[in-house]
Chain A
């Protein structure tokens, strides 16, 4: 590493040290190679972006592209390969110094400019850009997500007819039968080597579980609960409260709600989309499971009235406070069930 590069890294690290503890953790945790390795090896994710970009050279040719949260710069390099006039990659994390080495090794230094810093604080070398690309999605779409930064960049830098890749994100939910695993994760605390550990059970219930769910566990039809149009949505939309109904497909028990999201690149000549749901290939986002305190006993065709309330935590905006209300609509008085639960993703 040359001396000038080294002092860059040191300056960046110093800047990181000045930030709030939680912010620092967020940016620092991305320095570890593991997370980038996991993201790059997530084929559904990386290949979808690759297809959306390199199969649409007609959209990228001679365009100025902004990559928000560029990480190892893989998307920036796809855009450069697709014929972009210039790509600007921005990332707060010191991974960007690795990204510079990578871009250099691949002979794309004159096509890609990488800037270390917060989107809101840096100066771009272009007053406006034609396309914004970004992989900003977190668990449950919004946890630790960078969407607010993407929206800032859109409002500040995107040309009037500019494109956003991806431009649509939809959160879905359904009810699942998950007795065995709920026992293992939640029931575990009822009896730990003969001891009552219920004080830890409440904490376990309040933490949504990021894990893979088998499609056969789905007891209800999936329902879209939030659709974000990235051209139009605002930061305020990221705190939302929605009612929705889940309809039972069969007679079964419902132990939990599971949520996932789909991502669309509608600007493509041939639409590219991928899903992180239980019905399709594994992604590193897996699904997010919200265990209910009670078990609902449902028969085919019955509806569960749900209400979901999601908002960023006031103290740490990358954390989420989530409230779920549920009520089973049934004529059978013995199976009446309703409740509400609060969760915290942090």
Chain B
């Protein structure tokens, strides 16, 4: 239902959106860069340009008789107050009205003055570099010797705390500004698209603009439900949490990139674990909620949220120490988010950087469950006395996502694909691998299908990872206390990924297959590939045969 929600800039016809949103990214760039490098400081009271804020203020005091620092001190302005004062002055100057030192706080204590008059005003950014406002009634430095040192130390601590607070305030201020701007562009977008749609009416059929197929994808993550489901998937969320909190030494002072941050949970885990900086990227609207969550958690000075696609955004840093991402889809590769992680790995991860998780492997096992087939396939033979077999047609062509009862798995699980995330390439995600399973019980009515799932591995370093094709999550994790691993398989607690069922198609009337004895070997080859027309979809194909039988079976299933 998520995609039903009307959204600000969700118009399938508009292709202007992509270019506009790129503009939005540029806006981000500017802000980020200004913070890194010094730009020109334009005088508050005329159009002279200075290399830094202090020399500009000195000039204003000398030439215009306006002492900004004295006014700020007199009015006891905090960061937001100072921002308002700057914008108020700029506003007055712009109007041609005089600015004098007898300004009162009431003149400019309005939210409208939070909005910058100058884009990327270097004075506002430079407010950090100014000497602090001395609290009223604060004791002037008095006494001698030890007490002076104590005072200074105390003052130093106070200042550090103050700095942290102001930095956090600035982050939230910047986020608010960015959000307001985003919104403005969003509105322009919608209006443009509407005008366009109105103008194009009647001829849309033939010359229709290609719809951005991925839009549905991002929209599907904008609602609450999906995030509730993921957060309440304790196997998943606690897996990440345990690894991050148990390995705080890995995060201390590090720069972390969270790809597809959603509500920001993993970013906040990393920030709590001591990361110096966390950069969180998501293209879905949920990032607006993540921003609020981060502010509520008091982590706004550590976590920087960037809205956009990983491949299109510009990060404020050149390299990161750690990439954390929960990118896994149904049958691991459905929805194809991994290529974005691999892109970021190649572009941003330091040579000795850490990937969380660092490896995954995929499993397949034969299953049999007459009851399931009866309820879901045979059902259509007689529906209130009518033959509805026509409804069966899709059943064998689509992967069915469900949590399969473990006692209906009838063969040994076979690991068929190892993904070492440090080395794997996007092209390796289209692959064929062989597998082999031995039946663990007699199967009287033949096999009904195959079940596919995956395990995830979190290791504290790439050298110590040591994950093999047949590594099982629980056993691998037990070998070292710093490791965390979890499986999405049928033998453990259900996760929101459940498993993928590949149901065998049996021709009507034909016995599904003969009874099979325990110990019989089933061998096959499985192929994963995205459909040509839907890069986020998945086609799974398998050929298999029962040892001792000449007949080769083959079937393929879609996930769309």
Contact = CB atoms under 8 A, between A and B. Distances in A.
B399 to A, nearest CB: 13
Interface in A186-223: 188, 192-200, 203-204, 207
A74 B383 contact: yes
B544 interface: no
B518 interface: no
B237 A199 contact: no
Interface of A: 17-18, 21-22, 25-26, 33, 36-37, 40-41, 46-47, 50, 72, 74, 77-78, 81, 98, 101-102, 105-106, 185, 188, 192-200, 203-204, 207, 313, 315-316, 319, 346
B265 A195 contact: yes
Given A74-B383, A74-B386, A199-B289, A192 B265 contact: yes
B224 A195 contact: no
B347 to A, nearest CB: 29
Interface residues of B, number: 42
Nearest to A43: B384
Contacts of A33: 391, 394-395
Contact of B241 (A47, A106, A193): A193
Contacts of A204: 224, 228
Nearest to B215: A21
B231 interface: yes
Interface of B: 1, 3-6, 10, 12, 204-205, 208, 223-224, 227-228, 231-232, 237, 241, 263, 265, 268-269, 272, 289, 292-293, 296-297, 376, 379, 383-391, 393-395
Contact of B387 (A105, A192, A194): A105
A17 B213 CA distance: 13
Counting chain B CB atoms within 10 Å of each CB, the highest count among A77, A102, A192 belongs to A192
A35 B81 CA distance: 57
Given A50-B384, A74-B384, A197-B263, A105 B224 contact: no
A102 B387 contact: yes
Contacts of B390: 98, 101-102, 105
A199 B293 contact: yes
A25 B3 contact: yes
Chain A interface, >50% SS class: helix
Contacts of B1: 346
A8 to B, nearest CB: 15
Contact of B388 (A26, A102, A203): A102
Contacts of A194: 272
A118 B395 CA distance: 28
Given A37-B379, A196-B293, A319-B4, A77 B263 contact: no
Contacts of A319: 4
A299 B82 CA distance: 55
Nearest to B299: A195
Contacts of B383: 40, 74
A92 B51 CA distance: 67
28 contacts: A18-B204, A18-B205, A26-B4, A33-B394, A36-B391, A37-B376, A40-B384, A72-B391, A81-B385, A98-B390, A98-B391, A102-B386, A102-B387, A105-B389, A105-B390, A106-B387, A188-B232, A192-B265, A193-B265, A195-B268, A195-B297, A199-B289, A203-B289, A204-B224, A204-B228, A316-B6, A319-B4, A346-B6
A198 B290 CA distance: 11
A72 B388 contact: yes
A40 B384 CA distance: 9
Contacts of A200: 224, 227-228, 263, 289, 293
A12 to B, nearest CB: 15
B396 to A, nearest CB: 12
A25 B383 CA distance: 27
Counting chain B CB atoms within 10 Å of each CB, the highest count among A26, A98, A200, A204 belongs to A200
Contact of A77 (B5, B224, B272, B386): B386
Nearest to B241: A193
Contacts of B223: 203
Nearest to B383: A40
Nearest to A73: B386
A10 to B, nearest CB: 14
A313 B5 CA distance: 11
B255 to A, nearest CB: 21
Given A102-B387, A188-B231, A199-B293, 14 more contacts: A18-B204, A33-B395, A36-B391, A40-B384, A72-B388, A98-B391, A105-B390, A106-B386, A192-B231, A192-B265, A193-B231, A197-B296, A199-B289, A199-B292
B4 A346 contact: yes
Contacts of B385: 81
Counting chain A CB atoms within 10 Å of each CB, the highest count among B268, B269, B272, B395 belongs to B268
Nearest to A49: B384
Given A18-B204, A21-B12, A203-B224, A197 B387 contact: no
Q: Lowest 4 A-B CB distances belong to which pairs?
A: A101-B390, A199-B292, A196-B296, A199-B289
Contacts of A36: 391
Contacts of A50: 384
Contacts of B297: 195-196
